[in-house]
Amino acid sequence: MVGAVMIALAPSGQFSLEWTHSVEKEGWREHWQVTDHGTLRLVGAAVKGSGAGMEPGPGGHFENGWWVWKADGPEVPELELAASGATVSGWTLCMKDCQTLGVTPEAPIRIAPCPTSGN
């Protein structure tokens, strides 16, 4: 596969990613923030179950069927999502609306903030 699909995010936006864990077959959700520095930061996460690398993070609590916790991840320039089509599910990306990505084999999907003038 050649190239990549790029999803550009508005400055200071927020989005979530959700997928099904390939081993445990349970939901995983992450909440991300576009920072003022033009990077991405993980600010929260939730898992539907536990086990096989799905343990709740520090301060996790059970809420509406999910283990939920706040995160203060490092700033990263972009996320790259595999799109093999061979996993249990695709990725559900939600901003204002939701869309499913990576269900079929395709180039990796990159999610990054839009460049701002002056950077």
Query: What is the 3-state secondary structure of the chain?
Result: CCCCEEEEECCCCEEEEEEECCCCCCEEEEEEEECCCCCEEEEEEEECCCCCCCCCCCCCEEECCEEEEECCCCEECCEEECCCCCCCCCEEEECCCEEEECCCCCCCEEEEECCCCCC
According to the model, what pLDDT value does residue 77 have?
Answer: 94
**Interval 18-50: pLDDT, tens:** 988 776 678 889 999 999 888 999 999 999 877
Q: How far apart are CA 61 and CA 27, in angstroms?
A: 16
95 Cβ partners below 8 Å, 6+ apart? 9, 13, 14, 15
* % of the chain with per-residue pLDDT over 90: 33
**Interval 93-118: pLDDT, tens:** 998 889 888 887 777 888 888 876 54
pTM for this predicted structure: 0.81
